[in-house]
A and B are shown apart, each in its own frame.
Chain A
Amino acid sequence: MIDRKKQPSISKIDKIDFLEPKHFTIKDEVKLHLIDSVDDESVKIDFIFNAGTKNDEVHIASFVSAMLLSGTHEKTTSDINEQIDGLGGFFQAEASRENAYVAVYGLKKNIHAILDIVIDAITYVSFPQEEIDQLIAKNQQNFKVSSEKVSFLARRAFGKSLFEGTQYEAHAEYEDFETVTRDQLVTFHDKFYLNGLEKVCVTANLAEEDVKNIIDKVSNWSNKHPREYVELLTNTPKTVHIEKEGAIQTAIRIGRILFTRKKEDFLVFSVLNLVLGGYFGSRLMSNIREDKGYTYGIGSGVMEMQSTGYFFISTEVGKAVAEDAIIEIKKEIETLQNVLISEEELTLVKNYAIGQLLQSSDGPNAMMDRFLSIDKYGLGYDYYDRIMQTFNESTPEKIREMAKKYLNWNDFLIITAG
């Protein structure tokens, strides 16, 4: 008979094999990174530009990002999309605060043809006025739809308050969209795309010759501008409520400015974050979802940016229990500050964290992500050994110390929308 009450023995992960990409120089500091251990015909190419919303008012960066394939003097946007689709290619573009990203997907047999079309379209984009007008209307409508969602309202207010007084604060309002001019787009595009390429990442089983070919195509896009990032160390604590008529749930965002992984406390704090709200069995999920049934989900996280970062708790709860939910969140944090976590819970969290690290390093695309997250801060692969070591060496005392140091209710921004 098998013993169904007893968990089969488990073994710990003591080592993770990381695969370093091959590196090629595009120009000076601008590199191409290649992971070629791909066992199928897929090709994924990511272009990272110094074209984030930090560089201008937020809507200019996102307009340019959305209009990269909007047409040249030779081709309409429909021609361009038709050609990319015809080759089985996919194109995505998005802008964040610090960078803009372009991703091209396709199969090996067509990838150079797809790239030629994309690169030509981006190089010679003419920002036709009727395309701008159409995008304005579309953005206005999307903005109205989003504004009906309490999660959007809370997230937006959170970002605005968190980065108050810096260039990361900017948020487009409905009226802003129609002020966009073609000249602004042309200037931004020229500065931050045609002269703003920071990095290219290729995940595909491509030969060196193919890679050289890609480099030739984009080398003159290399970034020629200083990269400036907000180095925020603190935020102004405050409580903001956004009234949303008719809402039956309230969105809650609580958090504060923190740090990046270059700061020594980052890793131990990450363990604390897991305990509090970073996984399904976390304190917040166990209490607010699995015990009280107040929400479909609640979580906390650590966001890293280039020279700053932040901690946040995020949930949507029934309107009637919103105040209770905040009281319970506060209680969970205070418990972590006052009561030592049991060895049993800590061991579980450590094992889970290392399992997650193994999973997030599984496969060529994941390997590229692992590389990017250390390369961004100038760290080497030994950093991952340090992660394992720090996780394993975390003690209940250290976790409590982190909670006391960084999770003080008086330091928090508390945003509710509903």
Chain B
Amino acid sequence: MIEFKKFTLDNNLKVIFHHDPSTPMAVVNTLFDVGARDEDENKTGFAHLFEHLMFGGSANIPDFDGPLQQAGGESNAFTSNDITNYYDTLPAHNLETALWLESDRMLNLAFTPKSLEVQRQVVIEEFKQRYLNQPYGDAWLEFRPLAYKKHSYKWATIGKEVAHIEDATMQDVKEFFSKYYNPSNAILCIAGNFEEAFVQDMVNKWYRDIPAGIKVPRNIPQEPSQKEFREKTIERNVPADAFYYGFKMPGKTDELYYTADLLSDVLGRGKSSRLHTKIYKELNLASEIAAYVLGAHDEGLLMISGKLNNGVSFDQLDDAIWEVLETVKARPIDLTELKKIKNKVETTAVFSDQGILNKAMSLSAHELLGDANHINVEQQIYDNVTAEMIHTYAQHKLVKTNCSVLKIKASTK
């Protein structure tokens, strides 16, 4: 059970406070309800580029990191298709420095041309390092537009292409900031060994004069329900053939999300999973194979991916995968197997609730999806999933017409 308090400022800023008396550190986590899915199709990669610019100085403070380091702390951030999340960790007695810095960059940025110019270059190098200059790095750049035709999940967080990042202008930056970076669109979480009243005073002091802004209604094109099997083969200079199967699944706020998550565990989590046992161990078709869910807020994907062994064809693999999928559709899994996957979920939950940073991020993410307290009931939802629910789900969703497959073929030089 993770205890927390919640309050909202007059400018709509939602604040969560988690009291942890066991640590000398504090965390300030700020989640903005904006991700790559909110981007314009012709200006992709922008939410992430913007995350970099948030470290380039704010209205009253030219340097973000320096004062935080001076206070013994550090900071980082990440952008996903759904959200942008910033976090600071620092000694608890210096909490106020983090609030001063975070509130100032929520108030306004410095918008220096130098920062934009340099961060464009840095992000382009990131694009190269992670997506272009390593084998299979562009798999998701290829897979997303295959699985999504309308929804903005069709591009990756880094963006569709380097050119979109090169073309970002200062005007784009300013518009993006005023649209999304305001209290109405943010969740602040503070964790550490503090009195609640102190946290309230501090948050009020630094945040209450920030204009509320307007919560922008999300207007993303709905993905039409998939009705056909999709398949794409690309050739790349890679050492081994690779495969990516994606099945559409409900987003995180749907209870069926948890059923799909457990189904993916049955199929491909760890070495005793069905796909690993059959395709890696028994048939020796793949050198690695796993199944997992992407954890998307909107309609997401249950993925099966891996690499083929030398001399094995995509067709052999495809037959074997569908054979395994048929086993979970034919009859409900037995109780031992159900217990096994639930036990793993339980262990994972205990370990992932350790440390104030994990807790602060998780509370913020749950609050965005409706209620921070969801962090405390999630385990119960998993527990409530039955073998029959998984069975029914598999029958409906593990079908060809709900499936997209990307094959990366090793080109013969």
Q: Which residues of A are at the interface with B, using a C-beta cutoff of 8 A?
A: 2, 4-5, 7-8, 10-11, 13, 16-17, 39-42, 69, 77-78, 81-82, 84-90, 105-107, 110, 134, 137-138, 141-142, 144-145, 147-150, 246-249, 279-281, 289-296, 316-318, 347-349, 351-352, 354-356, 358-359, 362-363, 365
Residue B150 CB within 8 A of the other chain: no
B51 in contact (CB, < 8 A): no
The CA-CA distance from A291 to B309 in the complex, in Å, is 45
The answer for the CA separation of A88 and B96 in the assembled complex, in Å, is: 41
Give me 6 other A-B pairs in contact (C-beta within 8 A), A4-B61, A352-B72, A358-B91 excluded.
A7-B67, A11-B94, A41-B350, A42-B351, A106-B347, A293-B118
Q: Are B118 and A249 in contact (CB under 8 A)?
A: no
- Please determine whether B70 and A10 come into contact, CB atoms closer than 8 angstroms: yes
User: Do A296 and B122 touch (CB < 8 A)?
Assistant: yes
Q: When A8-B97, A148-B239, A279-B69 are in contact, do A42 and B354 touch as well, CB less than 8 Å?
A: yes
Chain B residue contacts of A81, Cβ below 8 A = 270-272
Q: Please determine whether A293 and B125 come into contact, CB atoms closer than 8 angstroms.
A: yes
- Does A89 lie within 8 Å of B287, measured CB to CB? no
Cβ-closest chain B residue relative to A16? B24
B135 in contact (CB, < 8 A)? yes
Contact of B240 among A41, A105, A141 (CB under 8 A): A141
Contact with A along B324-364 (1 / 0, CB 8 A): 00000000000010011001101100110111000000000
* B402 interfacial by beta-carbon distance below 8 Å: no
A351:B71 contact, CB within 8 angstroms = yes
Residues of chain A with a CB closer than 8 A to B100's CB: 4, 7-8
Neighbouring B residues of A296 by C-beta, 8 Å? 122-123, 125-126, 129-130
CA distance A89 to B93 in the complex (A): 38
Interface residue ranges, B against A (CB under 8 Å)? 22-25, 59-61, 65-67, 69-75, 89-91, 93-94, 96-97, 100, 104, 107, 117-126, 128-130, 132-136, 205-206, 209, 237-240, 270-272, 277, 281, 284, 287-288, 307, 309-310, 336, 339-340, 343-344, 346-347, 350-351, 353-355
B226 to chain A, nearest CB (A): 31
A343, chain B: closest CB distance, angstroms = 13
A293 in contact with B22 (CB, 8 Å) = no
The answer to whether A42 touches B350 (Cβ under 8 A) is yes
Task: Give B41 Cβ to nearest chain A Cβ, in Å.
Answer: 25
A281 near B71 with CB under 8 A, answer no
Task: Report chain A residues within 8 Å CB of B126.
Answer: 296
With a 10 A CB-CB cut-off, give which of B61, B123, B129 has the most chain A CB atoms. Answer: B129
Question: Which residue of the partner chain A has the closest CB to B100?
Answer: A8
Please give the distance in Å from B115's CB to the nearest CB on chain A.
Answer: 9
A-B contact pairs, 8 of them (CB 8 A): A16-B24, A40-B354, A42-B350, A69-B271, A77-B281, A137-B309, A293-B117, A318-B125
In the complex, are the beta carbons of A293 and B119 less than 8 A apart? Answer: yes
